[in-house]
Structure 1
Amino acid sequence: MTAPAPTRRSGRWIERWDPEDERFWEETGRRTANRNLWFSVLSEHIGFSVWTLWSVLVLFMGPEYGLTPADKFLLTSVVTLVGAVARVPYTFAVAVFGGRNWTVVSASLLLVPTTAAFVVMEPGTSFSTFLLVGLLAGIGGGNFASSMTNINAFFPLRKKGWALGLNAGGGNVGVAAIQLVALAVIGAGGGPRVLLGIYIPLIVVAAVLAAFFMDNIENVRNDTGAAKDAAKDVHTWIMSVLYIGTFGSFIGYSFAFGQVLTNQFGRTPLQATYLTFMGPLLGSLIRPVGGRLADRYGGARITLCTYVAMAAATAVLVVAGMQKSLPLFVAAFVVLFSLTGIGNGSTFKMIPGIFQARALAEGLEGEEAVRYGRRLSGASMGLIGAVGALGGVGINLAFRQSFLSYGSGTGAFVAFLAYYAVCFALTWAVYLRRTAPATRATASAEAKPQLSYVEV
């Protein structure tokens, strides 16, 4: 007996979708989910490239543009801020319009900031104009939230770590991709408009492919109650703090790495670009590995170990900055980028597991527990993603202040080291300190389900 295929209606809507049913998943669900995953990755990839566009464009902007290092850090901070804020409405747009429909719309919207940048990118343009166009580029950051919410609905809980890690990692590669394309453009003697001219047709391709090959899921309905419940849940905000440390670091360093090399170590834009792409590339590619490790060993354990390693790498960066050792600095920065990728994968794996644990603690079972966990985890992902991206704003502002005060980024790295210590303590205290055996003993004594996060 074969599993029933997903039931469809017009407009590429799937009316029946049950990935937790293993027979449904193996016989019909996996193929559909994977197809949506790959085209989601493409759209999110282009979105990340547009969002981080200005981390590359500021390297093109020499003295003739009249911008100081502080101006450039402020510009990239504004872009990061808008991308973070956009993640909240983008999360709920999936439920309003459908995952496939919103992917088409959000991909098409990327034409606005790229075209605007193409028009204004020349010496003599005012700083306020650059800030306004940078605000537009921030919408590229919203694509991550809608993409993750959409893909979260397609995969069963046991596959979410790998699927969400792959989706996010493929998107994050857009950061490295635009830096590599910029490297080729600079090396060939081209200007910023050449770079923008390459990406405009790619945006059109991503939107068209999403329209033809992606699906909407009928039972992912707009639920404002889910948003309110997620916002009231303390774990949404705890995970936001942890995600600031992982993704906030990734996106913040992606925007700032090139500027740190040019301002602190005197690298030219071409020399800086030769080095900057390595960190985002490795951090992106390793994100699915973080998700897979979390699937196997538990997201909380992997997250805890990641913060220890991130703190160690940051300490090396402080030493390298004080000794003015460029090779040590670059090596430590690339390692730190890789660790942020692992942490990104493990933290996002934790989210569905946490809300599934809450469902069980409420006494829910079977499909009812699955629906509860999927409902709150999908809503919380947008909030967590938005707050986490605000970490990128903080990193760029910290670098700006550090360069204004000390002439280097060392002061900022000391602050980041302290933050990673806080995240380590929070992960251990909330998600690992209460062990599963102790929880079971308490549950037996009280004859009611108790929360256990040690396996999330």
Structure 2
Amino acid sequence: MTAPAPTRRSGRWIERWDPEDEEFWNATGERIARRNLWFSVLSEHIGFSVWTLWSVLVLFMGPEYGLTPADKFLLTSVVTLVGAVVRVPYTFAVAVFGGRNWTIVSASLLLVPSVAAFLVMKPGTSFSTFLLVGLLAGIGGGNFASSMTNINAFFPLRKKGWALGLNAGGGNIGVPVLQLVALAVIGASGGPRVLLGIYIPLIVVAAVLAALFMDNLAAVRNDTGAAKDAARDAHTWIMAFLYVGTFGSFIGYSFAFGQVLTNEFGRTPLQAAYLTFIGPLLGSLIRPVGGRLADRYGGARITLWNYVGMAAATAVLIVAGMRKSLPLFVCVFVVLFVLSGLGNGSTYKMIPGIFQAKALAQGLTGEAAVAHGRRLSGASMGLIGAVGALGGVGINLAFRQSFLSYGSGTGAFVAFLAFYGVCFAVTWSVYLRRPAGQPTVTTAASQEKAELSYAEV
């Protein structure tokens, strides 16, 4: 017997959605879910491009704009900050407005910062105006959170990893694609308005396609209790801290790489553009590999050794910067991008495993343990993603202060090296270190069970 097709009401709402039912999934669910996935990826991809737009626009802004390197780093910091903060409300907007409806709204909102940038992008515009317009561009960072929440609801548990990995990777690739388009524009002697003129129509296309082909799920509802429980759990904030080291590095370096090349190594915007896209591209493509390695060897172990690699790469960058060796600097910076992408996959893979381990340690079994872990891990991901993106703010502010104080990025890299060392220590002490004592038999047994299993998440 074929599963009945989902019923709909005005606004393309699907009343019945049960992807765990294989008959329903094979008959109608998979086709609908895949269609929503592709158009969600498109909208999120454009959102990432708009969010990172100013990392490219500042390369166009020569001496005639009257901005110092510190001004430019502050500008990109503001954009990153807003993108991190709006991830929290964007996470819950899907349940309030519907996935299709919010995709239309969030895609359409991208017109505001893009058109505003088109209007003000000229010499003589005040720095405060650029800051305001950059603040508006930050909303593009929220599209990732709402897109992940929406697609998570469409797919069965057995296919969520593939779907969410594809969704996340498709969004992250918006960074190098934007940089490649900028490279073509600069190479053709075009200005920043040409670049904006390319993306404004694409935003309209993404919103229209979402309206025509996406759906809302009536079954998706906000679980404010889960959000509160996740916020009260220490592991949410521990993982958010570790995600600062991985995704915060990825997005922060994506914004800063071109400016470091122009300010420290004297590269022209065109020369910088030839190099800046490589790291974000490889970092985006490697993210699913980090998740796959975490599946096989345990997310905590992969994350731990990944931080060792990030620290080693940062140490080499310090040497390369002090010796003014551009080839070594670029090569190792690309390696650092790759490691940040790998860590993105391994840290995000840890989250459901941690809450599943806690459920088992509390005595839950079977479907009850799975449901408990899924509930808290889903709610925590929005918070973790938002805090992690704040790492990009810290990176750009660190570069700003380093160039103000030392005239180079060396001071910032020393700070990053120390931070990765702290991340290594936290990962080992919380998720890999064996429990030392057993104060009481019952409590210690439960704690040992949970801690030992964390190594496998």
What TM-score range do you get, normalising by the shorter chain? over 0.9
Q: For residue 286 of structure 1, what is the amino acid of its counterpart?
A: I
Q: Secondary structure at the match of 1:189?
A: coil
Separation in 2 of the partners of 1:32 and 1:337? 34
Quote the offset at 1:274 in angstroms: 0.6
Quote the offset at 1:171 in angstroms: 0.5
Quote the offset at 1:193 in angstroms: 0.6
Quote the offset at 1:381 in angstroms: 1.3
Is the contact between residue 304 and residue 424 of structure 2 (CA under 8 Å) also seen in structure 1? yes
Quote the offset at 1:366 in angstroms: 4.4
User: What CA deviation, in whole Å up to 9, does each residue of 1:413-432 have, x standing for no partner?
Assistant: 11111111111121222222
Quote the offset at 1:448 in angstroms: 12
Quote the offset at 1:17 in angstroms: 3.5
Separation in 2 of the partners of 1:445 and 1:422? 28
Q: Partner residue of 2:100?
A: 100
Is the contact between residue 158 and residue 295 of structure 1 (CA under 8 Å) also seen in structure 2? no
Is the contact between residue 361 and residue 447 of structure 2 (CA under 8 Å) also seen in structure 1? no
Q: For residue 71 of structure 2, what is the amino acid of its counterpart?
A: D
Q: Partner residue of 2:335?
A: 335
User: What CA deviation, in whole Å up to 9, does each residue of 1:226-245 have, x standing for no partner?
Assistant: 22111111111011001100
Q: Partner residue of 2:6?
A: 7
Separation in 2 of the partners of 1:411 and 1:286? 28
User: What CA deviation, in whole Å up to 9, does each residue of 1:393-442 have, x standing for no partner?
Assistant: 0000000111111111011111111111111121222222349xx9xx98
Do the aligned partners of residues 130 and 13 (structure 1) sit closer, same or farther apart at CA in structure 2, a change above 3 Å counting?
same
Separation in 2 of the partners of 1:69 and 1:110? 27
Separation in 2 of the partners of 1:204 and 1:149? 22
Quote the offset at 1:315 in angstroms: 1.2
Q: For residue 56 of structure 1, what is the amino acid of its counterpart?
A: V
Separation in 2 of the partners of 1:158 and 1:61? 48
Quote the offset at 1:449 in angstroms: 7.5
Q: Partner residue of 1:215?
A: 215
Quote the offset at 1:225 in angstroms: 1.6
Q: For residue 300 of structure 2, what is the amino acid of its counterpart?
A: A
Is the contact between residue 363 and residue 449 of structure 1 (CA under 8 Å) also seen in structure 2? no
Quote the offset at 1:79 in angstroms: 0.5
Identity %: 85
Alignment of 1:295-374 (within 5 A): 295-374=295-374
Structure 1 segments unaligned to the other structure (5+ residues) = none
User: What CA deviation, in whole Å up to 9, does each residue of 1:305-364 have, x standing for no partner?
Assistant: 211111111111111111110000000001110111111112112222222333333444
Q: Partner residue of 1:455?
A: 456
Q: Secondary structure at the match of 1:190?
A: coil
User: What CA deviation, in whole Å up to 9, does each residue of 1:241-294 have, x standing for no partner?
Assistant: 011000000010001000000000000011001110111111111112222322
Do the aligned partners of residues 350 and 244 (structure 1) sit closer, same or farther apart at CA in structure 2, a change above 3 Å counting?
same
Q: Taking structure 2 as the reference length, what is the TM-score of the superposition?
A: 0.92
Is the contact between residue 434 and residue 454 of structure 1 (CA under 8 Å) also seen in structure 2? no
Q: For residue 275 of structure 1, what is the amino acid of its counterpart?
A: L
Is the contact between residue 13 and residue 218 of structure 1 (CA under 8 Å) also seen in structure 2? yes
Is the contact between residue 40 and residue 103 of structure 1 (CA under 8 Å) also seen in structure 2? yes
Alignment of 1:372-387 (within 5 A): 372-387=372-387
Q: For residue 393 of structure 2, what is the amino acid of its counterpart?
A: V
Q: Secondary structure at the match of 1:64?
A: helix
Q: Partner residue of 2:50?
A: 50
Is the contact between residue 78 and residue 134 of structure 1 (CA under 8 Å) also seen in structure 2? yes
Q: Secondary structure at the match of 1:171?
A: helix
Q: For residue 213 of structure 1, what is the amino acid of its counterpart?
A: F
Do the aligned partners of residues 226 and 447 (structure 1) sit closer, same or farther apart at CA in structure 2, a change above 3 Å counting?
closer
Q: Secondary structure at the match of 2:125?
A: coil
Q: Partner residue of 1:433?
A: 433
Do the aligned partners of residues 450 and 71 (structure 1) sit closer, same or farther apart at CA in structure 2, a change above 3 Å counting?
closer
Q: For residue 170 of structure 2, what is the amino acid of its counterpart?
A: G
Structure 2 segments unaligned to the other structure (5+ residues) = none
Separation in 2 of the partners of 1:223 and 1:401? 41
User: What CA deviation, in whole Å up to 9, does each residue of 1:201-229 have, x standing for no partner?
Assistant: 11111112222222323332112222211
Quote the offset at 1:443 in angstroms: 9.6
Q: Partner residue of 2:249?
A: 249
Please identify, of 28-37 and 79-88, the stretch whose mean Cα deviation from structure 2 is larger. 28-37
Is the contact between residue 361 and residue 446 of structure 2 (CA under 8 Å) also seen in structure 1? no
